[in-house]
Amino acid sequence: MKKLFATLLLLAPTLLFGQSAMQGTWHTNMDKSQLSPKPYVFSVVDGIYECSTCAPQIKIKADGTDQPVTGQSYDTLSVHVDDTKMIRLIGKKDGKTVFEQTRTVSDDGSTLALKSTSYGKDNGNEVETDVTFARTDKGPADANGTSGSWQINKVVESDSGLTTTYKLVGAELSMNQPTGENFTAKLNGKDYPFNSSYSYDTVSLKRIDDRTIEETNKRGGKVISVSRISVSPDGRTLTEVADNKLTNRTSTFVMEKETIEAGK
């Protein structure tokens, strides 16, 4: 703020928000959360992997070698076709593995099981994720069995990917996750570094009211996602409505408070 009186006027509600509402450790309850129903569409046909719902779209050789991709949180992707019902994907950034993923289709072709390990950028904790998809459309003729259109049914994730801690640092709000991802930012709408993340490199926060903030995440100066984060009146539930601007998917995540700061 350029003027002292403006700082004083804005500081009180900002402190109130950080201390009484959002501060603490939160755990995402996936059973109460609602993920975007928009299907994921990908295929492996004649040695080519194509993801039409990726943003930007991906079309590379599925020969097990690192293929360059652009606009993603990783810069190479390798696709390994193990058999007619299973493929493995490995994404890397600057030669370092970002994630490893296995997709396996059921014998009747109606469901897809995805198992993924995501790695922290700066020695943060790994995140293990199991996702079950239901088929919404078939893949191309002669495609690998994992091909087609798929809608998320259920997600099970390790605690390292579900835990977030918010803390007030002076007039700034800080966020930390077991994966190592973190930031410290003022609620003034300006960009601040988003550290140890493959997905984002800056974050900006804006206070909507005493229990709601808007978070905008960018990578390379481009807006990746915008979230509205609200705390319930009793201070026990945090709801994040996340809008992915690249894929046009909106999901709602419900988080429950694990710890309450002393004196709160």
DSSP one-letter string for 30-68: TTT-B---PPEEEEEETTEEEETTSSS-EEEE-SSS-EE
**Angstrom distance (rounded) from CA 212 to CA 253:** 14
Residue 11 DSSP SS3: helix
| pLDDT for residue 210 | 85
| pLDDT for residue 14 | 39
* Beta-bridge mates of residue 79: 89
Asked if 213 and 17 count as a contact pair (C-beta separation under 8 A), the reply is: yes
Residue 191 DSSP SS3: coil
| pLDDT for residue 259 | 59
127 CB-side CA count, 13 A? 22
Distances (CA, A) of 56 to 136, 147, 248: 22, 19, 12
| pLDDT for residue 225 | 98
| pLDDT for residue 224 | 97
> Structural domains in the chain?
4-30+162-259 (2.40.128.20), 40-159 (no CATH)
Residues 6+ apart with CB under 8 A from 201: 193, 194, 218, 219, 220
| pLDDT for residue 201 | 97
Which residues of the chain have a pLDDT value below 50?
A: 1-19, 261-264
Distances (CA, A) of 106 to 5, 29, 42, 66: 64, 27, 16, 27
